[in-house]
Amino acid sequence: MRLLVTALLVATALVISAIAFVYAGLFNVAADAPHSALTFTVMEAIRSHSIATRAQGIQPPTLDEPALIAAGAEHYAAMCSGCHLAPDKIDSEIRAGLNPKPPDLTKNSRMSPAEEFWVIKHGIKMSGMPAWGKTHDDSSIWGLVAFLQKLPDLTPAQYQALAETEGESHHLRSHNQHDHTGATKNSRHTEETQREDHHHHEQ
């Protein structure tokens, strides 16, 4: 009985201490204040095990298709290089102020392709890593994963060529689509004008 009372008292004291710690604002949430070694170790363990558990059962497609890799290169240059760097970028203003520091993806990743897909799609809480699955489909995300398999071996020139080639192709496709849409609208406008003129002459 005495042991139970002691345990309850200790538990109550811990709860009160935790509440006091939170409401006193003792924990420094500033991004430029590094975590303690213990906090960082615990966070890393939670993150890695959480990702591994949730990535189980994800089956990657074929990741060596040139079109998939090129599409991933374009998305990486636009969405990821600011935080995760590139062969021609050793640091960035946004990366310098992030805590925890985003991984440098120009180096070999410790994650499997399935784990990379899960992280890109769902993001990571309180890390600055967004859930790109909110705005991009699975095919686009697999393109990023495919590109990440090649990124550590790319020179700056190869990286630029790959990203720019796909970017130009995307721009050309958009331009052609715009021209086709514009031509269709102009054709319809011409037909309507001709009908109106014909109707006017009949009167």
What is the structure's pLDDT at 184? 45
Task: Please report, for residues 4, 86, 141, the alpha-carbon distance to residue 74 in angstroms, rounded to integers and kept in the order given.
Answer: 62, 12, 12
Task: Please say whether the beta carbons of 81 and 158 come within 8 A.
Answer: no
**Cβ atoms within 10 Å of 43's Cβ, excluding its own:** 14
What is the structure's pLDDT at 163? 86
Give the pLDDT confidence of 108-126 residue by residue, as tens digits.
888 999 999 999 999 999 9
What string of DSSP letters covers 67-125?
HHHHHHHHHHHHHTHHHH-BTTBS--HHHHT-SSPPP-TTSPPSS-HHHHHHHHHH-BT
Classify domain 35-203 at the CATH class level.
mainly alpha
What is the structure's pLDDT at 23? 95
pTM for this prediction? 0.77
What is the structure's pLDDT at 88? 87
Task: Please say whether the beta carbons of 79 and 60 come within 8 A.
Answer: no
Q: Which amino acid is at 23?
A: Y
Q: Which helix (H) or strand (E) holds 203?
A: none
Which residues of the chain carry a pLDDT beneath 50?
Answer: 168-187, 189-190, 198-203
